[in-house]
Amino acid sequence: MIPREKVEELVSAHAKLEEPTTGAIWINTDAAEVWLVEVIPTMADDDMAEEPTFFRPGVGFQFPLALIAGNRQSIEAALRRKPELARAVVAGTVVLDGGDTRPLVELAREVSRAA
């Protein structure tokens, strides 16, 4: 099991970057890797935002990471394209909300109900 504190530490570090994360949802898959959906407003639009980028463990964070990141509009479009991602977001845990994460969860609920 991946400790929530470690995920929160990682997200907190991402929120302090030059191009900070303003929202994050932890999708706890009970797998050995951490799945995060992060809103990064400065990212360019991405038609493939639902495709995770995989990172190997490092010194500061010892768990494999699958990161789905994009600006809010790209993440919204990804949720509409991928109902399974929407369901995972609904079941996930909001670990950072700078004002744009909860609306994503609401959209994910709508997509999940419609699917």
Residue-wise pLDDT tens digits, 41-53? 999 999 999 999 9
Domain limits at 21?
Answer: 4-114
Taking the C-alpha atoms of residue 29 and residue 73, their distance in angstroms, rounded to an integer, is 25
Confidence of residue 62 (pLDDT cuts 50, 70, 90): confident
Model confidence pLDDT, tens digit, residues 12-55? 999 999 999 999 999 977 777 889 999 999 999 999 999 999 99
Q: Any idea what the CATH number is for the domain that residue 49 is in?
A: 3.30.460.10
Decide: residue 17, CB within 10 A, 0-12 exposed, 13-18 middle, 19+ buried: exposed
Q: pTM, whole model, 2 decimals?
A: 0.93
Q: Domain total for the chain?
A: 1
